[in-house]
Each structure stands twice: as structure tokens, then as C-alpha cells.
Amino acid sequence: MSSVQKREVLPVKTSNDVVIARQKVRQLAVELRFSLVDQTKLVTAASELARNALDHGKGGTMTVEVLVNGARSGLKMVFEDQGPGIANIEDALKDGFTTGAGMGLGLGGSKRLVNDFSIETEVGKGTRITAVRWR
Amino acid sequence: MERIPVLRMGSLLLITIQVDMHDKLALQLQDDVTERISEWGSTGVLIDISSLEIVDSFIGRMLANIAGMSRVLGAETVVVGMQPAVAITLVELGMSLTGVRTALSVEAGMELLYGNAFTGSEDEQRTEA
Ligand SMILES: Nc1ncnc2c1ncn2[C@@H]1O[C@H](COP(=O)(O)OP(=O)(O)OP(=O)(O)O)[C@@H](O)[C@H]1O
Ligand SMILES: [Mg+2]
């Protein structure tokens, strides 16, 4: 079992919050001494998921946790919103699938950028997306 | 209002993106670029992203939009200076930036654009400069 060393909750209500969320993930990724490429992957995934929570989920929160599992450490990011939910997760994960004006890359792409990825969603209630990258 | 400067360099527009982009800034930049192209008759747009620490689908879409709109107005766009870690991440994200030309440095980007603007030889290029 992994233990949580540090935990912070940030709002994702405005496009400036997305910028702040990215900066927080970068700071923690640097502290955890992730490689530059891994830092970039984490920050990019955070940017996509925070923007989704804002654009599709009407805003929500990002919770970041520093995980320690024996000799391993990792960064966990949880994006939660009380928006419309995702009707079909399989479709939403497909590259090119979008219900908005985007390119439909954010969700499937961020899944590829992390090690663990899960989506919990209920139509009309909201969405929680959890992404972890280990180092 | 906060704004990304669009500089004029002969027939080119030079844009250096240094800030963490957000929606309003991106939309403003798209407007500014199209206005400048039609005002100055620019034939090339050089976008330096060497200080960008990430390019997500939002920024990628903005770059593709600028390239698309510029092309309609008769100007080629070259994106220069993408950091290697950013390039690696972009590929994994699944973004191919189709329709956007890239070059390693500002100099290489200018060569691409001048080669485009003046179909003549290198010598002609120097007389222009
Ligand atoms: N938090 C969310 N709440 C509700 N729907 C979502 C959420 N996140 C994603 N979706 C749905 O999944 C689709 C795919 O998301 P994805 O991020 O891949 O693409 P996009 O946001 O539409 O475009 P892009 O991210 O490329 O700009 C979205 O269009 C939306 O319908
Ligand atoms: Mg998205």
C-alpha cells in the first residue's frame, strides 16, 4: 500500500486556475525529481484534465497527492467536477472524439501520459478522473 | 490589457510566446496576427515557442488556427524552438500539428520563410535584407 505524504486541493473554476494547477504540478514534479520529460508529461496531462473539468464539467477541483510506496514515489492528480458527466467513456477516450470545438485529444492523450488512469462518472452528477505517474 | 507582442521584421511577423497561455490571450493573438497580416501584407509568420514548457491540445489548436488563418491571407507560418521534452510529450499526446511547419531555430525558420517569400536565390535574399 502506498501512503500519502502531501495533499493539496486547488480550485479549477477559471482559465487562470488551469495555469495555477499546471504550476502546482510542475512544482511537485520537480520536488519529486521527475525527469524533465516526465515533468512535461505530468504538467501536460494536468493541463488537459483541468481544462476538461472547466470546459466540459463546468469547473471543479484538482487534488494533488505525493505518494510513497516503499522505494517508489509518485504524483497523483484527481480532477473532480459536478458537471454533466460522460455518457460513453469508451467514445470519450477515442482520439478525435469531441462534443465541443476541441480536437478530442485531451482525455485519451492524458491517459497515455501517465501510468495509472481511471474515470468515474455519472450522467447528470459529475466526473472524477484520477491520474498517477510513478518515478 | 495583457497582450503577446507581434513584431514586424520586413515581410515577416515575429511572435515570441513566453507566458503561460490562457484563452483570452490566445484569442487576442489570433486576432492580432490576422490584422497585422492584412495591414502590413506580411508573407510569413514566425512563432518562437522556445520558452514554452508545455504544449497541450489548447496551444496546439491555437498554433494550427494561426497557421490556417494566415495561409488564407497568403502568409506561411513556421513554429520554431520547440523543446525536446515538449516534442516527445506532444507525440504521446497524439497531436501531430498537421499543417504547421516547424524549424529548430529562429534562423532556420527565417530561411524556410524567406525561401518561400522570394523564390529567388540566396543572393537575392541578402539584397532584400
Ligand atoms: N470532465 C468532463 N465532464 C464531462 N465530459 C467530459 C469531461 N472530460 C471530457 N469529457 C467529454 O469527453 C470528450 C473528449 O474529451 P477530450 O479532452 O479528449 O477532447 P476535447 O476536450 O473535446 O478536445 P481537446 O481536449 O482536444 O481540446 C469531450 O468532448 C467531452 O464530451
Ligand atoms: Mg479536452
What percentage of chain A has pLDDT greater than the value 90?
A: 89
Sequence-distant (6+) residues with CB within 8 A of B86 are: A40, B49, B52, B53, B54, B55
User: By residue range, what is the domain housing residue A38?
Assistant: 3-134
Sheet harboring A116-122: ordered strands across?
A3-12, A60-69, A72-81, A126-134, A116-122
Q: How far is A121 from chain B (nearest CA, A)?
A: 22
Protein residues with C-beta less than 5 angstroms from the ion ligand 2: A 52, 106
Task: Tell me how many domains chain A contains.
Answer: 1
Distance CA B109, CA B126 (A): 16
Q: Which amino acid is at B105?
A: S
Q: Which three cell numbers stand for residue B55?
A: 504544449
* pLDDT on residue A135: 93
Task: Tell me how many domains chain B contains.
Answer: 1
Asked if residue A18 has pLDDT above 90, the reply is yes
**Lowest-confidence segment of A30-44, A104-118, A121-135, B109-123 by average pLDDT:** B109-123
For Cα atoms A3, A35, B87, give the angle at the middle one, nearest 5 degrees: 125
Q: Which residues from chain A sit within 8 angstroms of residue B95, using beta carbons?
A: 103, 105, 109
What percentage of chain A has pLDDT greater than the value 70?
A: 100
| Ligand 1 binding pocket, CB closer than 6 Å | A 48, 52-53, 56-57, 81, 83-86, 92, 97-100, 102-108, 127; B 57
For residue B53, count other CB atoms closer than 10 A to its CB: 17
Please give the ipTM for the structure prediction: 0.91
Which position has the higher pLDDT, B127 or A108? Answer: A108
Question: Does residue B92 belong to the interface with chain A, where contact is any CB pair within 8 Å?
Answer: yes
- pLDDT tens-place string over residues A28-45: 999 999 999 999 999 999
Distance CA A60, CA A109 (A): 20
> Which of B20, B89, B95 has the most A C-beta neighbours within 10 Å, making it the best mutation to test the interface with A?
B89
B1, part of any domain: no
- DSSP SS3 for A121: strand
Provide the residue-wise pLDDT of chain B in tens; the chain has 129 residues.
Answer: 688 999 999 999 999 998 777 778 888 999 999 999 999 999 999 999 999 999 999 999 999 999 999 999 999 999 999 999 999 999 999 988 888 999 999 999 999 998 765 544 444 444 443
> Binning pLDDT at 50, 70 and 90, where does residue A130 land?
very high
B119, part of any domain: yes
Sheet harboring B76-80: ordered strands across?
B6-9, B12-16, B44-48, B76-80, B101-103
- pLDDT tens-place string over residues A67-98: 999 989 999 999 999 999 999 999 999 999 99
Q: Which ligand 1 atom minimizes the distance to the CA of B58? A: 27
Q: Look up the CATH number of the domain holding residue A73.
A: 3.30.565.10
Residues written for chain B: 129
Distance CA B36, CA A47 (A): 30
Distance CA B103, CA B97 (A): 13
Q: Look up the CATH number of the domain holding residue B78.
A: 3.30.750.24
User: By residue range, what is the domain housing residue B56?
Assistant: 6-124
* pLDDT on residue B98: 80
